[in-house]
Structure 1
Amino acid sequence: MVSNVTSKSKSTNLTNRARMLVSCPDRPGIVAAVSRFLYEHGANIVQSDQYTMDPEGGLFFIRIEFDLDNLDARREQLKADFAVVAAEFNMKWSITRASRKKRLAIFVSKEDHCLLELLWHWQSGDLDADIAMVISNHDDMRGLVEPLGIPYHHIPVTPDTKAEAEKRQLELVSGQVDVVILARYMQIISPKFIEHFPNKIINIHHSFLPAFVGGKPYAQAYNRGVKIIGATAHYVTEELDGGPIIEQDVQRVSHRDNVDDLKRIGRHIERTVLARAVNWHVEDRVIVHQNKTVVFS
């Protein structure tokens, strides 16, 4: 089931806009070849960002936004033609339509702050995506979600029912969403589920990873006596809290702050960090390389 409610559209007309992401071994002529290709196909580059890990034998990354008249009709041929250029430079690449909003499924448990932040960004038009559904192992958030026209699915999870619950979740999201957002969803996702969404499950972890992985990180931080706490948005992999990091932020704390204080301060960091990461992902600003990311923010 997909909601028919969509966010407010941004002011820019994205009908004929496409985004190209490229990573490849660095060598002279990459930018020239891509630019020439787009020029010869009548495209107009409106934004270009690039990064090289090492000009001598490293990897090169580039993100380009371009406008092309009659994009929908020409996109498949454009991709077929670009495959020739890509093969010459051994590129990993994608071309996506900017007007095609990514469909999100938001998973949440009992804490609402990250969900509320995403809903607010979506309602204001700052999150250029469609929220297809919210799935929760508790029924607490239904009253926040359903009045917005977004389907809400309550799927309880216990140790005995976890496999069946995840099967039901997969039935709901398969073919219906592009990205899964774990907005303080306090359950571990199985490898089988992750296989369906490689680098398309974004989690918010309430610590500055790699510090304090696992459960109760604020209690861990308090017991360690840290002076800075943070939050980390990352892609989910089989390694617990070990996937490629998209965004992080921190705030100073002191010996006067107890565990509840750290949680309160941390909630503000979590909601901001997750919103940034989700926004960058849906705007095709993230390239994953091994267990790292290049983010053209």
Structure 2
Amino acid sequence: MSASAILEAATARMAGLGLEEVNERAALMTRVDRKYFVDASTLDRFFDLVDDDFAVLEIGGKRLMGYHSTYFDTADLATYRDHLKGRRRRYKVRLRTYTDTGTHFLEVKHKGLRAVTRKTRVPYLGELEVGGPVPRLGEPGHAFVSDVVANAYRQPLPGPLAPSYATTNRRATLVSLTTDARVTVDVDLRLTESDTQRVAGLRSQFAMIETKSGRGASSADRALRQLGVRPVKVSKYCAAVALLRPDLPSAPWRRVVRTYFAPAIAG
């Protein structure tokens, strides 16, 4: 059985929460993130361990939501190279679209002290045509990103930002009933290079789990440890570049992408 089928079945039996209550319980714009990859069997056992401790986000009767993210970078992929080198001052810029609600946010995710992730976002300020041309940041979007980076790191942008890679996936969001923890589970993940439209994807038997907590390891992290799963350091953006640009260095993520992702295919 695919990870997608396991996720649909597991979330169907959980308690549901509306978006407003989820944000009240755990907005977590500043948090510690941990990422894991699990196969379908392990995903099923994970839900057996945690489904009494968590509820699932439900909007309009749906529990698996569609996401589309366009990542922006310089022509020489400066933000990717900062992640490759493990620089403390590193960040990602993306336009996130919630495809079920048609809402769009421009987001900057950057690392703070002690590996804490901070996310700053605003409603999209660029030039967007849904289903049309690749979105552009425009002057307001560049100004927003520039301000966030300047406030975080006291440095300017390394150059103009343009669409580089895009990701699409379906996601279930779990929220702890007792703490501030959240867990996202992604399936049907596809990675696309904006210029060539070449595509790669997460293999159907795997899911990507991300735990988010303001207080260190959560019960979800402990459940995954009990199942023998260890966190990995990789982002969707870095995985996309590593898969679709084999001419670029990708040593920190090479084993992960070869294990869990299908090779690049024509779009």
Higher-Rg member (1/2): 1
Interval of TM-score (by shorter of Structure 1 and Structure 2): under 0.3
More strand by share: 2
Structure 2 length as normaliser, TM-score?
0.26
Structure 1 length as normaliser, TM-score?
0.24
Higher relative contact order (CA 8 A, sep 6+): 2
